[in-house]
Amino acid sequence: MFMLQMLTVIALTLILLASVKGNGVQMQRDVQCCMLYSQGKVRTKDVLRFEVQTEGPDCSIQAIILYTKKAVKCADPRDRKVKRLLRKLIQRQRNKARQTMWILPHDNLPVMSEDEKYNWEVLNKE
Q: How confident is residue 102, by pLDDT bands cut at 50, 70 and 90?
A: low
Collapsing DSSP states into helix, strand and coil, what is residue 31? coil
Residue 25 above 70 pLDDT?
A: no
On the 0-12 / 13-18 / 19+ scale of CB atoms within 10 A, 63 is: buried
pTM beyond 0.85: the answer is no
Identify the architecture of domain 31-124 in CATH. Answer: Beta Barrel (2.40)
User: Residue 121's Cα: distance from chain center in Å?
Assistant: 29
Question: What are the pLDDT digits (tens) for 32-62?
Answer: 789 999 998 999 999 999 999 998 888 889 9
Helix (H) or strand (E) holding 72: strand 72-75
